[in-house]
Every structure is written in C-alpha cells, then in structure tokens.
Amino acid sequence: MQKLSISDLNLEGKRLFVRVDFNVPLSGGKVADDTRIRGALPTIRLAVEKGAKVVLASHLGRPGGVAEERFSLKQVVKRLSELSGKEIGFASSCVGDEADSKKLGLKAGEVLLLENLRFEEGEKANDAGFAKALADGIDIYVNDAFGTAHRAHASTVGITAFVDKCAAGLLMEKELRVLGKILTDPERPFIAILGGAKVSDKIPIIKSLIRQKVNRLLIGGAMAYTFFKADGYTVGKSLVEDNMIPTAQEIKKMAAEAGVELLLPTDHQVVDSYDPLNSRRVIPIDFTNAGLVGLDIGPETSALFDKALTGAKTIIWNGPMGMFEEKPFDEGTNSLAKSVAKATADGAFSVVGGGDSVAAVNQAGLTEEVSHISTGGGAALEFLAGNELPGISALNDAD
C-alpha cells in the first residue's frame, strides 16, 4: 500500500494541516503519558525544517461535540513545546475566526495546535461543511494519526476532498511498513498475544491470525473466560460474553484444524465478589467456584506464556492480561511485558499496541526493549485483520 509521503513533497512556504494523535492520558491537567506526542515529533520536525507553516489538529477523549475544559488540548501544548524544543501556538477553537486568523498568520517554521476537533459535532459526523472549514487556507494535508485511521471522520477523510495533495506522515508510514510486513510476510515462529475484556472486539483479528497460520495464539484477560465457559468450566462472576460462546467454540475449532496452538491461562488471581482486596488469591482455573471473580492471570500462566515466546521471531501483543488499571492486578501484564522484551533481545521482532499494553511496557521501563510500539490499538487490529482503513485510503497514491 504505497501512499504519497510527506518526504516526497516540497513544503517550503506551504501551509500544512497535520492530523496528529494527541489523545493522551492526563493527570492534574498535565500529560501523563507522552508516547503519542513523541511519535508525531519526526513529522513535525521535518515540516519545520523544510520551512512549512504547520497546523496540528487532534481529538482528545470523547466530549461528544461539546466543549469541555477537561478535554481541552491546551493541556498538551506545554509538553509538546518541551519535547519539540520550540514554542507551539494554540487556537482555542479548531474552526472559525480565531483559528483562521492564526492559521493565516503563521510564518515558515511556526507551529499551531488547534483546539480539540471533537468539540465540534461535524468531526465524527464527517460533515462536509466542517471538513471544508478545516481545509480553508491549507495547501497540503498530512495524516500522521494512525490510531484514528480506521475512523471516517472530517479530519481523517472529509478534509481530503478539499485539499489537492494528501500525504502520509512519517509515523503513519512506519506503522504501515511494520504492520504490512507482519500481515504479508512474518518471520516464523509467529506468536500473537491477545487480551482485554471482549472476544467480540477481536473476532476479525483472531480469525485473520488463524488464517495466516500464526504458530501460537495466546489469549488472556477477561476475554479468556468466554473460552473457558465454552469449554464447560465454572467461571464464577468473571466477565463473560455469553453471546460469544458459539464464536469461541468456532475459533478453537478453526485453530485446531489450522494447526495453530491456542494457549489459555491455567491459573488466575481471583477475589471474592464481596471483599476484593482481602480475599485475593491464586487458584487453578478449574478450581473456580460460583462466588469468585477472576481479575488477572496467575504466575503459572505467566511462566507458560514466557516459555511459549521462546524462539519466537515475530510477536504481536494487544490487550492486558487482567484488570491492569488496579494494582496488584497488573502483575500478569507486567510479567508479560518482561517476557516480550526478553524474547526481543533473543531475536524476535515485537510489536506492542493498545493503550494498556503500551502503558505496561512504559511503566516497566522497557519501551526501548521492544521493536515497535504501535500508536493504534483498534486501527492496528483492523489493519492486521485485512480491513481497509478509511484514513489511509483517502490519501493520494504514490506516483
């Protein structure tokens, strides 16, 4: 999938609209994890060095078309300025008189960040009028927000109808190059690790991975309980998608017929539903009774998954192994992060995507120990499932 690249364009004096992904976690009005901001820096720096007038636009959270202070991108400007080493301007709206005035007032090498795109209903609705307003005065459109490429919104698709040159940014190019190789020609043994809450969120990618004959498929997190219930286990009050039980049975059959080894947890951390912290303990999966809730994989499973990664040449990981946001139920996810880093050091090419998985790698200080941190959770899954991503299709093809 060869798309026009920002590297191919003469940017001097041109006004660029760069769709970035600054949908970052905040704490106390400050950026808590700047991974996505760092990911956009190469494109921003290239544009500045080539003398462009740079307009950045992003969404933050889900404000639902209403301006909410807690979702304002002005909370991101300071960290962006620090990381980029230059003062970044800010417009308190993304369209209208102030935004237009600041866009048109940019000089070569200057950078302006617009307010949250999702403060306007026209963004998610892909409204043509809103898209045209975003495009006013813009010479070149650049999409560097892979994490939103699976959404047909005004800033990812609609705007391209009003700008002649629409190119991929450097981060977008990297994501497509890395994930494209995994999709078409992964080095083997190829191992996929999937976690998170819902089987339904990951059906297309699971089936795609089995069709690609991934060598091993490791499934953890709450989604594993749907598979356990499908096998007749008692899962207590653990999260289960009952309507997905036939699908889980189908997936297990597909894997067996394709010769794909599907590994599920053998033990888990459980709590009594009435006294979570004091009742925490580790038990085998088949010892689970009706009053228990499973919240994380256990140490036996961590060791099993660690061994399963031995000798791997390609690893993809999306989704936590437990209720990652609540300590101590982050232990399984953190252990897996260390196992992926170890396998990478031993020669595997590893790709980690999805907010909790990336957070685990960051918190463990292992960001530099994996091959690629993907900025797109849902987008990466859809891409690897072989689906067309609207935000990529809308870009100009390379000559």
The whole-angstrom separation of Cα 273 and Cα 276 is: 6
Tokens of 69: 């202070």
From the list 375, 379, 378, 376, the residue with the least C-alpha distance to 389 is 379
Write the CA distances from 53 to 76, 106, 220, integer angstroms. Answer: 20, 6, 46
The whole-angstrom separation of Cα 181 and Cα 188 is: 12
From the list 71, 57, 75, the residue with the least C-alpha distance to 20 is 57
Tokens of 83: 């990381």
Contact 63, 117 (CB under 8 A): no
Annotated catalytic residue within 122, 355, 376, 391: 355
The residues, ordered by sequence, that sit 6+ positions from 69 with a Cβ below 8 Å of its Cβ are none
Is 36 an active-site residue?
yes
Which DSSP category does 397 fall into? Answer: B
Alpha carbon 46 to its chain's center = 24
The residues, ordered by sequence, that sit 6+ positions from 47 with a Cβ below 8 Å of its Cβ are 6, 11, 16, 18, 54, 142
Return the H-helix or E-strand segment holding 166: strand 165-168
Is 294 an active-site residue?
no
Is 378 an active-site residue?
yes
Which DSSP category does 370 fall into? Answer: S
Annotated catalytic residue within 61, 137, 311, 378: 378
Is 85 an active-site residue?
no
Residue 367 identity (one-letter amino acid): T
Annotated catalytic residue within 38, 45, 74, 198: 198
Annotated catalytic residue within 3, 14, 36, 103: 36
The residues, ordered by sequence, that sit 6+ positions from 346 with a Cβ below 8 Å of its Cβ are 310, 311
Residues tagged active-site: 36, 198, 355, 378
